[in-house]
Amino acid sequence: MSDFTEQALRYHAEPRPGKIGIEITKPAETVTDLALAYSPGVAAPVREIAKDADNVYKYTAKGNLVAVITNGTAILGLGNLGPMASKPVMEGKSLLFKRFANIDSIDIEVTHRTTEEFINTVANIADTFGGINLEDIKAPECFEIEKELIKRCNIPVFHDDQHGTAIVTAAGLLNALEIQGKDISTATIVCMGAGAAAIACMELLIKCGAQREYIYMLDTKGVIHTRREDLNKYKTLFANNTDKRTLLDAIEDADVFVGVSGPNVLSAEALSLMAANPVVFACSNPDPEIEPELAHATRDDLIMATGRSDYPNQVNNVLCFPFIFRGALDVRASEINAEMKIAAVEAIRQIAKESVPDAVLKASNVDKLEFGKTYIIPKPMDPRLLSRVAKAVAQAAIDSGVARLPMPEQYME
């Protein structure tokens, strides 16, 4: 057992198992306190909520409570290890919600026999929460699950493995292309991987200006093309009418490589075939599609990002999901739509172009960060993410008609 593994196990086990807890938000010291908190005082808000269901937001914690829900079928890069094995990850997600956006969150691990049973379980408990963050659910079931829950729930439902990854990828990629003097509308993109994250990333990039016909998506059988007969309906959307069959075929003269697949699948030979000034997002974790040292030794003109914190340009969902939900909850949005996702992309992009606060430099253990090849997206600890991304998302919710409250006063300051 490595020292880090042992440290991680101690972190999770001591001095109290787990990473989250429940706190009391009202006085509970006297007989009067208890009478107000429970019987008979609790009857007053019960009656008010019975008169008008929206009063639940006034008298309970619903409006700042997100459920992190999984079935454990796609845990990180570890695979289908079941609901209980996923619990540390879901608790970690709840920790991040609280740490970065002061959102209360509880993890829920669902055991089920069918996709319909999972959907019914989540839909039946959804009214307890202000929002639902779906996590670590394998493709293609995750697409159907999210689609049906969005239909059935009157609160935001967001599959972070899809859309959180897509938002951060799009923000970083658009900035990288700008630095490299390229335009998303003419860029040739190779996507290694065809699961939930890959498909969501490409769909959002298309909404940001990429051309579907310039995208070459690959799965374990090679390029997804129109003559393949083994494609599900989600992969079919990216079936390219091409004679390219392998990664080496697809990547020749490509501007962008996006990897959401597995370690060491991008060789130096393949990287050398890319167009001048390429952009490489090797986001497999913990081991990227190509090691950064090898990539930089092969090409001195590239911009590279990974999912790791020990290299520049970390593509990390924590840049997005806490603030997406903060903005959505604060205007009581009924859903998280495309307009809100694109607003988050643009807000994240802009922060990277501005001067970096000293506190962020200190937390990052660097003397300087400046928009360029090694700094294309903000650091997760940048405090501007909360106010700027949340406000942009809230405004997009208002503008697109899914908000049920006006812009909060704190965003107007």
Phi, psi of 238 (to 5 degrees): -115, 20
Is 316 annotated in a binding site? The answer is yes
110, two tokens: 């669902």
124, two tokens: 């039946």
Task: Report d(CA 19, CA 13) in Å as an integer.
Answer: 9
Q: Which residue has the tokens 């094995």?
A: 85
Task: Report d(CA 261, CA 193) in Å as an integer.
Answer: 5
Is 367 annotated in a binding site? The answer is no
Q: What is the DSSP string of 103-124?
A: -EEEEEE---SSHHHHHHHHHH
Q: What is the dihedral of CA 107, 111, 112, 116, to 10 degrees?
A: 0
333, two tokens: 């949005």
Task: Report d(CA 213, CA 404) in Å as an integer.
Answer: 38
Indicate which residue of 19, 26, 38, 373 is catalytic.
Answer: 38
Can you say whether residue 79 is alpha, beta or left, with left for phi > 0 and alpha for psi between -120 and 50 degrees?
Answer: left
What angle in degrees, to the nearest 10, is found between the helix axes of 338-352 and 160-179?
A: 40
38 is catalytic: yes
Beta strands in 97-221 (DSSP E): 104-109, 131-134, 157-159, 189-192, 215-219
Short-list 10, 27, 6, 30, CA closest to 19: 10
Beta strand 65-70 with 303-306 is unpaired
Is 80 annotated in a binding site? The answer is no
Task: Report d(CA 242, CA 345) in Å as an integer.
Answer: 31
Is 54 annotated in a binding site? The answer is no
Is 285 annotated in a binding site? The answer is yes
Q: Is 7 helix (H, G, I), strand (E, B) or coil?
A: helix
57 is catalytic: no
Assess whether the previous peptide bond of 406 is cis (omega < 30° from 0): no
Short-list 377, 322, 355, CA closest to 170: 377
Indicate which residue of 19, 51, 58, 93 is catalytic.
Answer: 93
The binding site for (S)-malate comprises 285, 316
The binding site comprises 135-136, 161, 285, 316
Q: Which residues are catalytic?
A: 38, 93
The binding site for a divalent metal cation comprises 135-136, 161
